[in-house]
Structure formats: C-alpha cells, structure tokens
Amino acid sequence: MRYSALSDVIPTANKTPSPISPEPPKDTTIIAGVYHFHFDDFDLWTLQDKQNTMSASLFPTADKKILAELMPNGEAESAINGFLLRKNGKYILFDSGLGLDRGGALLDKLVMLNVKPEDIDAVCITHCHGDHIGGMLTNGQASFPNAEVYCADKELKGFQGDKNTQAMLKAYGDCVHRFTAGDTILGFIATIDAPGHTPGHTLYEIGPLLIVGDLLHAAALQIPHPEYCAQYDMDQKKAVATRKQVYQYIKDHHKVVAGMHLPYSGVMEDFGKE
C-alpha cells in the first residue's frame, strides 16, 4: 500500500491562482503537519490537528490473524485532520479538529499559513463528533466569526441532544446552513450521504477530490478490509455498506481521497492500490 503526498503527482496548473486578500498561504510542505496540494483550479492543505494511532482493540470483530498481519504492533498509524481549501478567492475549512482546549493544533496550523480565523469564509462539517467540531468554539465563542457553517440536517437532528453541537449552533446562529445530502453547496461542492458512522455523516466532492470524513479510522486495516468497523461507528451494518459503496465509487471515478483519519499527509491518490 502506498501513501502518496501528491505534491509530485498532481500537475501544476498553467496559470497562477487568482490573488486574494489576505495574501494566499505560502507553500507549506516543509511545515510539520501541514501538507499542500495543487489541483487545476483549487489548492488544498491538510491541517494535522493531532497525530495518533488506532488500537487493534477498537476492531473487536476483526480476524485476529488479519489484525496481527496488518497491525503487527497492535496499532495502526492514524491522525486527526482538517482540510483547508482555497478556490475562487475563498477559504473553506472542512472540519475543525479537537479544539485548543483538547490539545488540537488546527488553529495553530492556520496561523502557520498566515490565515487568520476570521479569514475563513465557510466551514463544512462531515459530522458532529468532538474531534470534528471541537475547534468550532474558542472560549465559548465562534472560532471563525465570519464563516458560514454547513452541516447535513440529518446529522444535526441526530445530535440534537449533544451539548457541543448545541453550543456550536448557538454560537453561529443564522450562519448555520442545513442541507440535504445530494445538494450542491457554495456553488461547486457536492454533498454525499454516507451514513453509518453517524446518522448524517457526509462526504464532500470537489472535482477529482473526495473528502471522506470518518469513512475509515485505520487505513492499514480498513482499506483492504472494509468489512471491519471501529467501535466509533454508530450503525456498523450501515457503515460497512457505505464503506464498500464509497470504495467502489473511488475506484470507478479515480478519486483523490482526503480522510480525517488518514495518516501522513491525509491524502491518497491511489486509494486501495498496492
């Protein structure tokens, strides 16, 4: 299995991206935990909120021989990632990580890029677990005061009793936009229903790029074996069906994959290929 940083394989566009204000981030492949990828008409940065591992114990239904082979030290490399996209002069963030008070580094990574929290135009949320919306608030206030926030209506209803979700909704107020999976948001981002991990877990598709949220947690195990669920998946039967369906979609459409728990750069071009 090969993890590709993509900086050498995604062709550079013939023209320089349109200038925006504030100045666009510098190339950032040299900054630890920040990886830059240039597509034909947009730029993407992985913002590694936290580097971690996934324990084999999180996969109780997995065959022990397979676990020993693919997770020989009892764990698999993983991470908590957010993604920053720049297109049409806009900064769009996908998930916000744990938050500073829980040890997340995503806001610090933005500072490294010379991007201020108030520069973020929109935040697209894959789902409402704490390691994905924890960074939405800082000291109880909206971390991204000028951002429009997008989240699936089904997800927000599924987390209506969650205090962190409710605090986020209160802080962002009328700037929260609920959508139905299948809608196109911001004019160019396709939303894809991917239930199982959570009720309204959502993937985001931008041209050749597919942001897959928590479709998988331990790549070393779950890419070759989508039938195995981490304990975090709320509806495991649905999660397996979704994973298999999306893997086929990735293969059929040759998608570049960005995952919130993919290790290293968080982005893979040859997803699932040995």
Two tokens at 203? 């993937």
Q: Is residue 103 part of a domain?
A: yes
Q: Is residue 12 part of a domain?
A: no
| Calpha distance 128→116 (Å, rounded) | 23
Q: Is residue 18 part of a domain?
A: no
Q: Is residue 53 part of a domain?
A: yes
| Calpha distance 23→20 (Å, rounded) | 6
CATH code for position 70 = 3.60.15.10
Q: Is residue 7 part of a domain?
A: no
Q: Is residue 185 part of a domain?
A: yes
Q: Is residue 274 part of a domain?
A: no
Nearest to 117 by CA among 85, 80, 91: 91
Q: What is the pLDDT of residue 112?
A: 87
Q: Is residue 16 part of a domain?
A: no
Q: What is the pLDDT of residue 33?
A: 85
Please state whether the peptide bond connecting residue 72 to the residue before it is cis, i.e. omega within 30 degrees of 0. no
Q: What is the pLDDT of residue 18?
A: 30
Q: Are 192 and 243 in contact (CB under 8 A)?
A: no
Residue 146 belongs to what domain range? 34-268
Please list the rounded mean pLDDT of every run of 10 residues in the chain (274 residues). Answer: 31 30 43 86 95 96 97 95 95 96 92 93 98 96 98 98 98 98 97 98 98 98 97 98 97 96 92 68
| Calpha distance 61→83 (Å, rounded) | 31
Phi and psi at residue 170, to the nearest 5° = -65, -40
Contacts of 1 (CB under 8 A, 6+ apart): 219, 220, 223, 224, 273, 274
Residue 109: left if φ>0, alpha if ψ -120 to 50, beta else—which one? alpha
Residue 101 per-residue DSSP state = G
Given strand 184-185, what is the order of strands in its sheet? Answer: 184-185, 189-193, 202-206, 209-211, 256-258, 267-268
State how far the alpha carbon of 69 is from the alpha carbons of 59, 75, 174, 268, 273, in Å.
Answer: 14, 11, 50, 22, 18
Which residue in this structure is represented by tokens 């479709």? 215
| Calpha distance 101→138 (Å, rounded) | 8
What is the distance, to the nearest Å, from the Cα of residue 148 to the centroid of all Cα atoms in its chain? Answer: 17
pTM of the model: 0.89
Count: domains in the chain = 1
